[in-house]
Chain A
Amino acid sequence: MAGTYEIMTGNEACTRAAIAAGMRFFAGYPITPATEIAEMASELLPKAGGTYMQMEDELASIAAVIGASAAGVKAMTATSGPGVSLMQENLGYAIMAEIPLVLVDCMRQGPCQGVATVPAQGDIMQARWGTNGDHPIIAIAPASVGELYEETIRAFNLAETYRNPVYILSDAMLAHMSERVRIPDPDEYDVVSRKRPTCPPSEFQAYADDGTGIPPMASFGDGYRWFVTGMVHDDTGFPVTNNADRVSYLVKRLHAKIEHNRADIEKYEEYKTDDADILIVSMGVVARSAKAAIDDIRKEGVKAGLFRPITVWPFPESRLETLCRGVKEIVTCEMNEGQLYHMVREVSGNTPVRMINQNNGVILSADTILAGLREGK
Chain B
Amino acid sequence: MAGVHVYDRFLRQDKLPHIWCSGCGNGIVTNALIRAIEKTGIDQNQIVVVAGVGCSSRANGYLDFCGLHTNHGRPLAYATGVKMANPKLHVIVVTGDGDSASIGGNHFIHACRRNLDITTVIYNNDNYGMTGGQYSPTTPTGAKSKTTVYGNIDTPFDLCKLASAAGATFVARSTVYHVTQLAELIAKGIEHKGFSVIEAMSCCPTLYGRLNKLGDGPAMLQRFKDQAIPVQKARQLSEEELQDKIVTGVFTDRKDRPEYSDQYQHVIARAEGRE
| A residues whose Cβ falls under 8 Å from a Cβ of B | 24-25, 27, 43, 46-47, 49, 51, 53, 55-57, 59-60, 63-73, 75, 89-90, 93, 219-231, 238-239
Contacts and interface: CB of A to CB of B under 8 A. Distances in A.
A220 B74 contact: no
Given A63-B70, A68-B81, 20 more contacts: A47-B272, A51-B84, A57-B106, A59-B74, A60-B77, A63-B80, A63-B107, A66-B78, A67-B50, A67-B81, A67-B82, A67-B83, A68-B84, A70-B81, A70-B82, A71-B89, A90-B71, A220-B48, A225-B44, A228-B67
Interface centre among B77, B82, B89, B268, by most chain A C-beta atoms within 10 angstroms, is B77
Given A25-B84, A56-B106, A221 B68 contact: no
A25 B89 contact: no
Contacts of B272: 46-47
Given A221-B86, A227-B61, A93 B71 contact: yes
Contacts of A53: 80-81, 84
Nearest to A67: B81
B271 A47 contact: yes
27 contacts: A46-B267, A46-B272, A47-B272, A55-B77, A56-B110, A57-B106, A59-B74, A63-B70, A63-B77, A63-B78, A64-B80, A67-B77, A67-B81, A67-B83, A68-B81, A68-B82, A72-B85, A72-B86, A73-B86, A220-B48, A220-B89, A221-B48, A221-B86, A221-B88, A221-B89, A227-B66, A229-B67
A68 B261 CA distance: 13
Given A46-B268, A221-B89, A223-B45, A228 B68 contact: yes
Given A47-B271, A60-B74, A226 B66 contact: yes
Contacts of A51: 84-85, 264
Given A63-B81, A225-B64, A230 B69 contact: yes
Contacts of A55: 77, 80, 110
B46 interface: yes
B255 interface: no
A56 B270 CA distance: 24
The main secondary structure of chain A at its interface with chain B is mixed
A93 B70 contact: yes
Contact of A67 (B69, B85, B110, B271): B85
B70 A230 contact: yes
B65 interface: yes
A47 B67 CA distance: 31
B84 A225 contact: no
Contacts of B268: 46-47, 49
Contacts of A239: 61, 69
Interface centre among A25, A46, A67, A70, by most chain B C-beta atoms within 10 angstroms, is A67
A25 B81 contact: yes
A225 B62 CA distance: 12
Nearest to B78: A67
Contacts of B81: 25, 27, 53, 63-71, 75
A327 B162 CA distance: 66
Contacts of B83: 67
A67 B74 CA distance: 11
Contacts of A228: 67-69
A74 to B, nearest CB: 10
A64 B118 CA distance: 14
Nearest to A71: B85
Contacts of A226: 66-67
A179 B267 CA distance: 31
Contacts of B85: 24-25, 51, 67-69, 71-73, 75
A67 B89 contact: no
A254 B74 CA distance: 23
A132 to B, nearest CB: 11
B187 interface: no
Contacts of A47: 268, 271-272
Q: Which 9 A-B pairs have the closest CB atoms?
A: A67-B81, A64-B81, A63-B77, A46-B271, A68-B85, A60-B77, A71-B85, A68-B81, A229-B69
B168 interface: no
A225 B45 contact: yes
Contact of A220 (B61, B69, B70, B82): B82
